[in-house]
Amino acid sequence: YKLSLVQEISVMEEDDECPELVPIKEKQTGPTVQIPVTIITGYLGAGKTTLLNYILTEQHNKRIAVILNEFGEGSALEKSLAVSQAGELYEEWLELRNGCLCCSVKDNGLKAIENLMEKKGKFDYILLETTGLADPGAVASMFWVDAELGSDVYLDGIVTVIDAKYGMQHLTEEKPEGLINEAARQIALADLTIINKTDLVNDSELVELRDTVRSINGLVKILETQKSSMLTITFEVPGSLSEDLLNIFIQNLLWEKTLKNKAGLPMAVIRLKGIVSIQQKQKKVMLQGVHELYELDETPEFWADQEPRINRLVFIGRNLDGEILKKEFISAMLNKDCVE
């Protein structure tokens, strides 16, 4: 007997409740041990990234592989990060200090799981994030129809994150005839729901949302959280900069923490990602960072002859100021002091 990951998350969010132990089939022969996979789903902006960042940085003594699908459908940044010149999936794994692995993907993540099992060995758990509009049922079914994948992993459960402020709006949204409500389906298929940002609604609104969730899925476990302080900043800057000056900009932000917002508070970056143009490099360079760790890696994709070189960056964290971040990045491009 051991805790499933759905129960592990419950413990992390609700320490005063002792979860029920359930049996999980677990083989003892080395290479044939199956790894549990938990699907993390939820409507756009509900707080999936906040939950995953917590799991990625918490010292929980678990080796967890997290497959993030963070880039909005159709965005230029997503296409640049996820697709190679040949049109194949491009992914890069970051190994974190707490033993976890993290990568970003463009598809439903199943190919990343297969590659992970081939290249990176075994883990305690695998977390698979879906896009905000994805049907988790379609992803879950792949674990039964893909015999090769099923020999290595099994579906542990589905966790759905719900935005307390906009959850009712998503659940009552009328769809054209023949189309399902994605938010309702995500709740219907969930083993665990997390109502996030409860500090942004009053008690009656929270009760209404909780009752609606129960009406959709009467057996689902409901947790409530108030992690609403994460900010996402994105910007684009044309041009190229030297790798040395880019490193200084990143290190000032992640290591030295010298960049502050207008209120004088140091900016705390949890996740950093983007595509940048480095001088003397013909290929696009992918920037990925988690807390103090970051990597710059050339992608297989070249900058086209007539293509404008646009640096596209995304920052996720606390106390962020997009205007100041962009100004400091431009200063680095112009070979000026990054911090005044």
The mean pLDDT of the chain is 75
Rounded Cα gap, residues 295 and 273, in angstroms: 9
Q: Average the pLDDT over 188-202 and give the result.
A: 90
Rounded Cα gap, residues 290 and 272, in angstroms: 6
Nearest to 162 by CA among 266, 48, 238: 48
Residue 166 pLDDT greater than 70, yes or no: yes
The answer to whether the pTM exceeds 0.85 is no
Please tell me which residue, 178 or 130, carries the higher pLDDT value.
130
Is residue 284 within 8 Å of residue 84, measured between CB atoms?
A: no
pLDDT attached to residue 19: 44
Give the chain's domains with CATH numbers.
5-69+108-224 (3.40.50.300), 231-333 (3.30.1220.10)
pLDDT attached to residue 289: 83
Please tell me which residue, 9 or 63, carries the higher pLDDT value.
63
Helices 5-13 and 48-57 cross at an angle (nearest 10°) of 90
**2: which strand partners?**
22
Residue 333 pLDDT greater than 70, yes or no: yes
Nearest to 66 by CA among 37, 26, 35, 34: 37
- Rg (Cα) of the chain, in Å, rounded? 21
For the stretch 38-53, pLDDT in tens is 888 888 778 887 787 7
Residue 65 pLDDT greater than 50, yes or no: yes
For the stretch 114-142, pLDDT in tens is 766 665 556 778 888 876 666 777 777 77
Q: How confident is the model at residue 3 (pLDDT cuts 50, 70, 90)?
A: low
pLDDT attached to residue 120: 56
Is residue 159 within 8 Å of residue 196, measured between CB atoms?
A: no
Alpha-carbon torsion (106, 109, 114, 115), positive or negative: positive
Rounded Cα gap, residues 166 and 331, in angstroms: 38
